[in-house]
Amino acid sequence: MALERTLVIVKPDGVQRGLVGPIISRFEARGLKIVGMKLMQIDRDLAARHYAVHEGKPFYAGLIDYITSSPVVVMVLEGPGAIDIARRTMGATRPAEAQPGTIRADFGLEVGRNLVHGSDGPETARCEIDLYFTEDELISWPRADDRWVYE
């Protein structure tokens, strides 16, 4: 079984609305395992590095202001196909286009307040994980029910 890791951020709106628990439970219910997690305040330098790909776009300044406006919960999830599973659990970027049963469809209304961020591919996941976690902050551990989740 090849395990994959992905970064997920419960954004300021998710934290402020008290949705951290319900959001995390969606990922755990899918079978993804938390191997790193912390509550933190993202500073402007870290935000700029995280969103460097969007620099120069009209929404960039607002994005930086938003992600630094309140604490966030940052976590690394692990499992087979973790990136795709996490993204499907989150739903489409625009909540109005997200499928019912996804985090964004069930809890969101607008793209600028879509509650969660997730890595979009293996290379991005590696880079994003390295931005937020050191290797010793990530814990590989055997979960008691892994044999009931993984073949």
Active site residue ranges = 117
Name the token pair of 17.
Answer: 């609305």
HEC profile of 52-113: HHHCCCCCHHHHHHHHCCCCEEEEEEEECCHHHHHHHHHCCCCHHHCCCCCHHHHHCCCHHH
Cβ–Cβ < 8 Å for 39, 73:
yes
Name the token pair of 100.
Answer: 């019912």
Q: What phi, psi does 5 have (nearest 5°)?
A: -120, 150
Cβ–Cβ < 8 Å for 67, 11:
yes
Residue 141: which H helix or E strand, with range? none
